[in-house]
Every structure is written in structure tokens, then in C-alpha cells.
């Protein structure tokens, strides 16, 4: 492809054609390489994501440089997204660095304040040709330093979602439908009736947060009802970390990072392909160009 692209057209195509694009949170160069190789090997469109914590850990310029290098070498479309950002200044910094999609998360505020903060970002991001994602309701669990207690996880209201998209002009929406960040204690209780109403009333692509550990049939049902993007974070970290632990269990004196990073990368790649299959985006690179 040669360069990173905005995810707006990718996600619109995915919604129209009933598949979901997997968005993977990456924290190291090896994790980034692993999901790009998974996409390249299977001719699949890809969204790379970083949390605010990872941006602060590595710096947006380093992340963008690595993602741009991947896009230059890959034949599939790749976007770079900033996940769950509450800080306007950091959002602008990431857009300037070269991110092609950003999420403004003002879901912890009352509706009107969420609208105001989202409008502010929409103005800047659209001018830069960057996709914007916003959230309505609250997705439970932990995402970096944003903690939402389960009883506080408020489901999105369909009519509110429609009005929100209309008034903000936001091109993608993450409605809270009962999923959670992290690994589920039991089976997730997704409010499919509510999702169906949101799908009918909202014309833009929807985003499924908390994609780690949702059973395959539930993922497929979500995708059928407009979830054009599925976020995967925790499961990827676990696969990466467990592969490294296995190396040290077998050889506690190992001190060559390549010896443990190669199996870690392989584990992430395998898991990424399974998630891509689940969302139905394998082989869809040409469908979103």
C-alpha cells in the first residue's frame, strides 16, 4: 500500500459487507510485526492500535515510524489508531505524529459534555483526514488507567446513539452493549436486542470493545449487526507474555532477547489469525481499498 490510511473507508466497507476488521493493541515492535505478518499472509485489512499508556511508554513518533514502515512494506491496507484517549492535547499530538484514527473517550461525562468534547476532536481530526471513534455508555473492565466497575457499565441507549452521531458527525461509534475490557469471568452478557436497535438507527460503523474472550458465535452475531471493528488487547498480551514465560521456564538463564521474542511473536501471529477468522475479514484486503 505504501502508507497508513484512515480507517473510515475500511470500516464503512466492512459494515456494508457484513464483516469486522480486527484492531489489535500492540505494545512492542515484535507485537506490531506479528499482527502485520498475520494480515499480510492472509490478505487481510488491519488496524494497529495503541493505548495511551503505550504512547507514553514508547512515544508517538516511534510508534508511527514503525507502523509507517509496516505499511510501506505491506500489500494490505493498514491504519493506526489511538485507543481510549481522554486527553485532547495527546490526541492532537498523535494526529500530528501521523496516526490515522483516534478515539476520544468522553463516555464518563454526561451526554452533553460527551457531545461537546467529541465535536472538538471531530473538527480537528476530519480536517486532517483522520478517522474518529467515540463511545456512548460505559464499557466495563480496565483499559490502562481507566477503570469502570461492572455495576457502572451503562449500556448505550439506541435513540441517544442516533442523536449523538447526527450532532457530532463522528464517523465511527463504540456503543456499550455489555462487553468488558480484560478477560471475562463468565460468558459475556451481550445485549443483542439493544445492539439490533442501535444498528437500525445508526448509519455509521460500530466498534466492539472488549473483544478478548468473546465466543465465536457471539462475535459473528455482533458483526452481522454492524460491529465493523473488533478490538483485541488482553488476549494478545497474554499470548505474548506466556510464550516468553515458557522460554524462561525451559531455560532460566536465557539472556538473548531474540530467543524469547521469536516464540512470543509467533504466538501473537497465530492468535491474530484466529481473531481475523472470527471477525470474517480474512482475504478482504481488496474489499476495503
Asked whether residue 266 is marked as a ligand-binding residue, the answer is: no
Q: Is 83 a catalytic residue?
A: yes
Show the cell assigned to 206.
Answer: 460500530
- Where helices occur in 19-151 by DSSP H, the ranges are 29-42, 52-58, 60-73, 88-97, 111-127
Do 226 and 206 meet the contact criterion of CB atoms below 8 Å apart? yes
Asked whether residue 27 is marked as a ligand-binding residue, the answer is: no
* Secondary structure class of 21 (helix, strand, coil): strand
Asked whether residue 25 is marked as a ligand-binding residue, the answer is: no
Sequence length of the chain is 289
> Which of 41, 83, 193, 256 is labelled catalytic?
83
Do 178 and 210 meet the contact criterion of CB atoms below 8 Å apart? no
Asked whether residue 16 is marked as a ligand-binding residue, the answer is: no
Asked whether residue 107 is marked as a ligand-binding residue, the answer is: no
Residues 162/93/22/233 CA torsion (nearest 10 deg): -110
Q: Which helix (H) or strand (E) holds 134?
A: strand 131-136
Asked whether residue 43 is marked as a ligand-binding residue, the answer is: no
Asked whether residue 2 is marked as a ligand-binding residue, the answer is: no
Asked whether residue 87 is marked as a ligand-binding residue, the answer is: no
Asked whether residue 254 is marked as a ligand-binding residue, the answer is: no
Residue numbers belonging to the annotated binding site for dihydroxyacetone phosphate: 182, 210-212, 231-234
Residue numbers belonging to the annotated binding site: 84, 105, 135, 181-182, 209-212, 231-234
Q: Which residues are catalytic?
A: 83
Residue numbers belonging to the annotated binding site for Zn(2+): 84, 105, 135, 181, 209
Amino acid at each position: 500500500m505504501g502508507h497508513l490510511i484512515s480507517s473510515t473507508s475500511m470500516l464503512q466497507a466492512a459494515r456494508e459487507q457484513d464483516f469486522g476488521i480486527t484492531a489489535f493493541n500492540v505494545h512492542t515492535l515484535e507485537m506490531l510485526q506479528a499482527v502485520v505478518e498475520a494480515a499480510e499472509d492472509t490478505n487481510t485489512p488491519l488496524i494497529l492500535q495503541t493505548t495511551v499508556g503505550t504512547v507514553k511508554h514508547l512515544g508517538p513518533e516511534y510508534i508511527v515510524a514503525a507502523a509507517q514502515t509496516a505499511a510501506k512494506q505491506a500489500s494490505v491496507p493498514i491504519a493506526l489508531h489511538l485507543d481510549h484517549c481522554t486527553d485532547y492535547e495527546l490526541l492532537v499530538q498523535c494526529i500530528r505524529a501521523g496516526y490515522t484514527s483516534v478515539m476520544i473517550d468522553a463516555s464518563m461525562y454526561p451526554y452533553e459534555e460527551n457531545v461537546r468534547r467529541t465535536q472538538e476532536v471531530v473538527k480537528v481530526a476530519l480536517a486532517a483526514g483522520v478517522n474518529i471513534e467515540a463511545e456512548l455508555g460505559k464499557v466495563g473492565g480496565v483499559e490502562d488507567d481507566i477503570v469502570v466497575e461492572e455495576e457502572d457499565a451503562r449500556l448505550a441507549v439506541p435513540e441517544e446513539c442516533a442523536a449523538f452521531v447526527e450532532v457530532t458527525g463522528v464517523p465511527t461509534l463504540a456503543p456499550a452493549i455489555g462487553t468488558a475490557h480484560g478477560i471475562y469471568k463468565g460468558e459475556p452478557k451481550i445485549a443483542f436486542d439493544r445492539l439490533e436497535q442501535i444498528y437500525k438507527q445508526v448509519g455509521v460503523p460500530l466498534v466492539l470493545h472488549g473483544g478478548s474472550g468473546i465466543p465465536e458465535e457471539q462475535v459473528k452475531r455482533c458483526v452481522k449487526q454492524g460491529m465493523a471493528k473488533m478490538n483485541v488487547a488482553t488476549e494478545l498480551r497474554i499470548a505474548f507474555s506466556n510464550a516468553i514465560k515458557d522460554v524462561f521456564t525451559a531455560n532460566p538463564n536465557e539472556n538473548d532477547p531474540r530467543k524469547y521474542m521469536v516464540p512470543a511473536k509467533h504466538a501473537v501471529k497465530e492468535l491474530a489469525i484466529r481473531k481475523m477468522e472470527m471477525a470474517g475479514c480474512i482475504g478482504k484486503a481488496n474489499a476495503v481499498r
